[in-house]
Chain A
Amino acid sequence: MVNPALMALGRGGAPLTVSQLTTQLRQLLEQRYPRIAVVGELSSVRVHNGHCYMCLKDNRAQLQAMMWGREYRGLKVRLEDGMQVIARGRLTVYEPQGRYQLTVESIEPVGAGALQAAFEQTKARLLAEGLFAAERKRKLSLVPSTVAVVTSPTGAVIRDIVNVASRRYPKARILVIPSKVQGAEAAPWIAGGIRRASQLAVSQDISVVIVARGGGSLEDLWGFNDERVARAIAACAVPVVSGVGHETDTTIADFAADLRAPTPSAAAELVWPIAAELMQRLSRPTARMTRALRRDVTRERRRLGSAHTHLRQAALGRCRDERLALQRLEGRLARLHPRARLAGAHAKLEGLASRLAPPTRARVVASRNALDGLASRLAAPTRARVVASRNVLDGLASRLTAPTRARVVASRNALDGLASRLTAPTRARVVESRNALDGNLARLAVTMREQLAAQRARLGQVAGRLHALSPLAVLERGFALVTTPSGSVARDARELAVGDHVDIRLARGQIQARVERLLPPDDEDT
């Protein structure tokens, strides 16, 4: 209701000044329309000194309006001519120009609520259809091949994506698929771009698609809330990552995407791994494997080493046994030695000598000397043969151990090579060489036994020959030993004279005889 006092002013009384009237009108309007909402189309939008001036109109009338800079700067939408808006504020009069106007406190495009409703409807429908289902979401490969980016080819978004990609993964491959991204009309472009990426997936080796746009109002992002975009994402041959607007913005495209990133840069971070980290992940197991294998090879080498030691000890042990057997043989040979027998005879003679008369004793002495001479002549060659035999045996023993040691060293060297190369021969080869070594050792043992048997046989022959050479054996064959009166063995008839007494020794017993006739040898025989 209008204040009746005000209405009365100037009526039939003193005339009002323009200022008075204008002030009264202002107060009148401000009281009558303190808070109103006006719907209309924007025109003549302009900014002056930070404040925004505009005209609201419909098909029959227009209303001047302005927005103080403080409110205008906080506005989320950009005011443009032709925009249908609802402006809220109070009506006032600008007294200097006598013009009434709307002082706008808030303004919103008409249909924002309608957009929100449409968004919810689309979302609910596609959700019911299962388009957003978790089981539809595909996993991104660790390393992308080519990445298709559906976005505007100009501006910060593609620049940010390329920068993030280059920083993380220097060999990134990017195919930009240009698209309008502004407002509702962008929808067919975005959907078409995703379909193109899907078609080119094989020929261009595309492994993932990024759909991206910078921040903006609900209207700005509206293209990404289009059902066609959601269906293009769902039908795409490769996974799709959305990076639309700011963190707080959620679009239908985000729900449909296989992976939702809050911003375009974040989408790039999800798509490209850090190449240096990948290289590390590849090289770290190799180092671990090398350590483990080196440890295993060392363990095997120790086991093989101790096996060789055991084999070598066994071989040397056998060698020692054979040597002992040989020594026993030598002992038996020594007891059969002519000198030993002569010593026995000697002792017997001594015994006899002590019981004989002095003249006879001289003869006994002579006999003993003769025996000593024989003994010394016999002893030398026999000893030489025994020494020779022993040398042969020693040689055998050293030949037995030297190759074994050489083979152990060679095997160990081969193993060292294996350990250093690490990739080289398999255990089969190691086992094979060990088997070969075992075979060689066994063959060596057989050869050694054969050699020892041969030596034993040779020693038996030598003993036989020695026995054959024994003077006792000669006597056994029917020869006789003639001793002169001087006690020496008679070898030449000219040493003797007729009438000399000689002793003739037979194999068994003696004859004392006298020389009756001498038959000196012919001259050419001497």
Chain B
Amino acid sequence: MSETDKSAEPTSLEAILQRLEDIAEQLESGDASLEQSLALFEEGVRLSKAGTKRLDEAEKKLEILQGDRVQPFAVEEPEG
């Protein structure tokens, strides 16, 4: 099963969210055995952490391209 293969886990946030929804649905259906459920749960927790980490680790940045150089940029306040 692919759950144990970490390299096969989704990396884009939409894929992570999709897989998370699938896992939650599978677990709620109660069809899986306990070991399958545990594996699914662990995968879900891992994905949720990975997704949250990606959102948390993003960095606010406002820059402008000046000629060939990228420089910090500030939006001018409206006049008056």
Residues of A at the B interface (CB closer than 8 Å) are: 141-143, 146, 153-154, 156, 158-159, 162, 166, 170-178, 196, 200, 204, 275, 278-279, 281-286, 288-293, 295-297, 300, 422-423, 426-428, 430
Contacts and interface: CB of A to CB of B under 8 A. Distances in A.
A196 B39 CA distance: 46
B66 to A, nearest CB: 8
A173 B58 contact: yes
Given A142-B17, A285-B48, A426 B62 contact: no
Contacts of B14: 141-142
8 contacts: A143-B13, A170-B60, A175-B65, A279-B55, A289-B27, A292-B24, A292-B30, A427-B34
Contacts of B28: 288, 291-292
B7 interface: no
B73 A153 contact: yes
B70 A171 contact: no
Given A153-B73, A288-B24, 6 more contacts: A175-B70, A177-B64, A178-B66, A278-B55, A282-B51, A288-B27
Contacts of A279: 52, 55
A171 B28 CA distance: 34
Grouping DSSP codes into helix (H, G, I), strand (E, B) and loop, the B interface class, with mixed when no group exceeds half, is helix
A286 B48 contact: yes
A171 B45 contact: no
B8 to A, nearest CB: 19
B9 to A, nearest CB: 14
Most buried by A among B33, B34, B73: B34
Nearest to B44: A289
B33 to A, nearest CB: 7
B78 interface: yes
Q: Which 6 A-B pairs have the closest CB atoms?
A: A427-B35, A292-B27, A171-B58, A285-B24, A285-B20, A288-B24
B55 A173 contact: no
Contacts of B42: 423
B61 to A, nearest CB: 4
Contacts of A291: 28
A175 B70 CA distance: 8
A293 B70 contact: no
B30 to A, nearest CB: 7
Contacts of B64: 153, 175-178
A26 B62 CA distance: 64
A292 B73 CA distance: 49
A288 B45 CA distance: 11
Contacts of B75: 158-159, 162
Interface in B12-47: 12-14, 16-17, 20-21, 23-24, 27-28, 30, 32-35, 37-42, 44-45
A289 B27 CA distance: 6
A283 B21 CA distance: 10
B51 A204 contact: no
Contact of A428 (B20, B35, B59): B35
A278 B58 contact: no
Given A142-B17, A158-B75, A162-B75, A427 B38 contact: yes
Contact of B38 (A146, A204, A293, A295): A293
A196 B65 CA distance: 9
